[in-house]
Amino acid sequence: MNNRLFTSESVTEGHPDKLCDQVSDAVLDEILACDPDARVACETVATTGLVAVLGEITTSCYADIPSIVRRTVRDIGYDNADYGLDYKSCAVITTIDEQSPDIAMGVDSAYEVREEKHEETYNTGAGDQGMVFGFACTDTEELMPAPIAYAHNLAAALALSRRNGALPWLRPDGKAQVTVEYGEDGLPKRAAAIVLSAQHAPDVDLKTLREAVYEEIICKNLPKGFIDRKTKIFINPTGRFVIGGPQGDTGLTGRKIIVDTYGGYARHGGGAFSGKDPTKVDRSGSYMARYAAKNIVAAGLAEKCEIEIAYAIGVAAPVSVTALTFGTGRLSDERIARIIASEFDLRPGAIIDALGLRAPMYKKLAAYGHFGRRDLDLTWERTDRAEKLRSYL
């Protein structure tokens, strides 16, 4: 492999789209805490002075959605009208219907039971058709691609420096982008470029901001020696970033799906995660695909593994399972796909039980990625199947 470049981006929790993801998942968490079997498909839109929550929710409990919205907006840091969104005074609009009964009948009773009269341990049908992808590689300790892992580090560090007062003139919105150069061995070698845009108070001068962000954010949150004299570094390259968040750009749930997953390094089925209960395979299937791929790599069956799982609406069993190891597999891709299908129960109900997905845990996933999170004990990030998988070698 020749030297090559790959770039991924992350955004802070105050980014307008990420704010919406967090509101949608905060609503989901509130409902699941009371009704673990609820059906939730919750979308959020945010703009200057306004947050709107809409979607389809079927549940036996009551959720005070306006209070959830205001609490989430406050926790992110939008607590001043000068920021264009203030949790105390912003308008909150809700428009919620129940889940379509046509969809519910397929989720409540899978095709295998309704049509084929099977006796199934797990009777939950997939909430929609579609395909999901999972990926793992040996770039980093958490088996994630280096560009997205390092971009998340920088974005999270921006938020932390704002919260702990290290850089008190920072505001909630921000973006980080990292370009990694890979060596001939296919492993991360150096940072070729770093782009970091941080929303800030109007009274901080650009020179102070750039020097502080370089020292506090970039130097402290990338591997030692990763930056060299040839690394291109751009900090607030427009020269000013005061207007941000929903005032600068309308936010929408599900518009940062590449940030949520692998930074574009691996494929994406197209479905967003936030605001969806785990009967939606966009979410639960993606988590299981990551779990399987990570355990395949941790077991040494491959250095890179991308898994695709495809579903039909209302059907429990997937219609296809495929694996790609990009020439790094110690077994054939076809063999690895068969191993995954036999060792991991990929039916939605089984995934929900195996990974404990009915618990209210989703808001904390809605910023800085759903995968490779060393700060959280996520079931799909465990490598507890690796020892069993090694036996196939």
Mean pLDDT across the chain: 95
Round to the nearest angstrom and report the end-to-end CA distance of the chain: 26
Instruction: For 244-272, write each residue's pLDDT tens digit.
Output: 999 999 999 999 999 999 999 999 999 99
3-state secondary structure of 192: strand
Paired tokens of 134:
């999972």
Domain assignment present for 65: no
Selection from 11, 30, 10, 12 nearest residue 70 by Cα? 30
Q: What is the DSSP string of 68-118?
A: HHHHHHHHHT-EEGGGTEETTT-EEEEEEEPPPHHHHHHHHS-HHHHTT--
356 and 225 in a single domain? The answer is no
135 and 150 in a single domain? The answer is no
> Is the confidence at residue 110, as pLDDT, over 90?
no
Domain span holding position 345? 130-140+262-390
Percent of the chain exceeding pLDDT 90 equals 90
Domain assignment present for 31: no
168 and 184 in a single domain? The answer is yes
Domain assignment present for 116: no
Instruction: For 149-161, write each residue's pLDDT tens digit.
Output: 999 999 999 999 9
pLDDT band for 124, please (50, 70, 90 cuts): confident
Which residue has tokens 């990929």?
346
Q: Which pLDDT value is given to residue 106?
A: 76
134 and 152 in a single domain? The answer is no
Domain assignment present for 107: no
190 and 332 in a single domain? The answer is no
Q: Which pLDDT value is given to residue 120?
A: 66
Q: How far apart are CA 285 and CA 225, in angstroms?
A: 37
pLDDT band for 2, please (50, 70, 90 cuts): low
Q: How far apart are CA 357 and CA 371, in angstroms?
A: 15
Paired tokens of 316:
């429990």
290 and 361 in a single domain? The answer is yes
Domain assignment present for 16: no
268 and 351 in a single domain? The answer is yes
Give me the CATH number covering residue 202: 3.30.300.10
Q: Which pLDDT value is given to residue 105?
A: 79
319 and 183 in a single domain? The answer is no
Mean pLDDT of 34-42: 95
Question: Of 189, 215, 243, which one is at a domain's C-terminal end?
Answer: 243
Cα–Cα–Cα angle for 99, 101, 103, nearest 5°?
Answer: 75
| Total structural domains within the chain | 2
Question: Of 243, 273, 288, which one is at a domain's C-terminal end?
Answer: 243
318 and 271 in a single domain? The answer is yes
Domain assignment present for 198: yes
238 and 302 in a single domain? The answer is no
Q: Which pLDDT value is given to residue 122?
A: 74
174 and 266 in a single domain? The answer is no
Domain assignment present for 23: no
271 and 211 in a single domain? The answer is no
pTM metric for this prediction: 0.95
Instruction: For 135-147, write each residue's pLDDT tens digit.
Output: 999 999 999 999 9
Question: Of 193, 209, 243, which one is at a domain's C-terminal end?
Answer: 243
What are the CA-CA distances from residue 184 to residues 24, 139, 162, 213 (Å)?
43, 14, 39, 32
Count Cα neighbours of 352 within 13 Å in the Cβ-side half-sphere: 23
> Is the confidence at residue 119, as pLDDT, over 70?
no
Q: Which pLDDT value is given to residue 196?
A: 98
Domain assignment present for 371: yes
Q: How far apart are CA 15 and CA 251, in angstroms?
A: 8
